[in-house]
Amino acid sequence: MLSFSPPPVTLGTMASPLKSLVIDDNRYQEAFHLFLERSSEHQCMRDFIQKKLPDILASIGDGKSQLNVIGVGSGAGEIDLEMLSELHQKHPKVMVDNEVVEPSSQQLHNYKVLVSQKPELNYAKFTWNKMTASEFEEQWKLKKMTKKADFIHMIQMLYYVKDPGATISFFQSLLDKNGKILIILVSGASGWGKLWRTYRTQLCNTEISQCVTTGDIKSFLDSKGVNYQSYELLSQMDITECFTEGDRKGELLLDFLTEALNFSKTASPELKAGVLKLLRHPDCSVEDKGRVIFNNNLGVIVIDQQT
Ligand code: SAH
C-alpha cells in the first residue's frame, strides 16, 4: 500500500525531522558499545556497586529466604551481574529470582551467554522478558501478578519510556516491605544535562526517546512527596573524534550524544554547528592534552518502599 509522508520540515518550531537512534537497534548497540569504550561509564558504576550498594542492599528482603529482583533495560547484563554478586555477598543464604526486562534480542542473547559462563550464579534463577518496560507492565497487570519485588533497578533506561514518572510509579507499586528501586541516569549537572536543556526542542521531542536527567526525576519525586537518597558519580567521556568531519566513530558518538540516528547527515547545518560548539564549551567539556573530555557524570536515586 502506498502511503504519503510529507517532506521533513526544518524551519522554525516545526517538528524535528531527526529520527531517534533507538529505532535502529544495530546502530544503537554499536554506538553504545563505542560510548562504553570511550567513557568511564561502567567503571564509575562498578565503584558505586562495590562501595555503596552493599549498604543499600543490606536491609532489603526482611528476612525472607528468596529475594525477587527485577532489572529493567539490562542490556548485556554486565552491571546487573555485578549487583547480583554484591546482593549474594550480603544475603549469602538466600535464593534470588531475577526477572530481566530487555527488548533487544541481541542484548538479551549477550546477557544469557554471560550467565552461562558463570556457574557461581547457582543461587539465582533468571526469567527472560524480551519486551519493553510498558509491555512488562501490561503483562503484569493482565496476569494479575501478585509477586512483590525486593530490588528493582533501571540503569540508563528511563530515556526510552514514554512517561518516566508513570514507569517509576508502576514499579514502586511492586515493591515489597523494605524493597528498593535503584535508578541511574545522567546527572542534571553533566554535559548531557547542558546539551539537552539547550537543544531540548530540537533533539528531544521524539516519542521513543527523551532527554531526562536525575534532576528531572528528583523534581518528579519531590512533587509526589516520595523520599529518596541520591548520589553523584563522576564520569568522563572522550569525544575528541566528534570534531573530525566524516570520522565514522565520531559520527557514532554524535548519534549517541544527540540520541538521533545519523545526526551528522540529517541535522540542519545550524543545529549541527550549534551542537558541536556546545559540546566543547566549558559547560560541557574540558580540553586535556589535545583531547576533548565531556562531563558524563551520573546521578543515582534510591527509592525505598514507602510505609
Ligand atoms: N543497563 C545497561 C544498559 C543501558 S542501555 C547498562 O547500563 O549498561 C539501555 C538499554 O535499555 C538497552 O539495552 C535497550 O535495549 C533498553 N531499552 C530500550 N528501550 C526500552 C524500554 N522501553 N524498556 C526497557 N528497556 C529498554
User: Measured from the CB, is residue 107 less than 6 Å from ligand 1?
Assistant: yes
pLDDT at 1: 38
pLDDT at 6: 44
Distance 265 CA to ligand 1 centre (A): 25
C-alpha cell at 307: 510505609
Distance 33 CA to ligand 1 centre (A): 13
pLDDT at 208: 67
pLDDT at 9: 39
The pair phi, psi for residue 229, each rounded to 5°, is -110, 150
User: Measured from the CB, is residue 136 less than 6 Å from ligand 1?
Assistant: no
CB atoms within 10 A of CB 78: 15
Contact 67, 91 (CB under 8 A): yes
Distance 295 CA to ligand 1 centre (A): 21
**100: buried, middle or exposed (CB in 10 Å: 19+, 13-18, 0-12)?**
buried
C-alpha cell at 115: 550467565
pLDDT at 22: 86
DSSP states of 164-221 as a string? HHHHHHHHHHTEEEEEEEEEEEE-TTSHHHHHHHHHHHHHS--SS-----HHHHHHHH
Distance 161 CA to ligand 1 centre (A): 10
CB atoms within 10 A of CB 110: 18
What is the C-alpha separation between 183 and 167, in angstroms, rounded?
A: 11
**pLDDT averages per 10-residue partition of the chain, 307 residues:** 42 62 92 97 98 98 94 98 98 97 96 98 98 98 97 96 96 97 98 94 75 96 97 98 97 95 95 97 97 98 93
pLDDT at 205: 63
What is the C-alpha separation between 18 and 10, in angstroms, rounded?
A: 9
CB atoms within 10 A of CB 128: 16
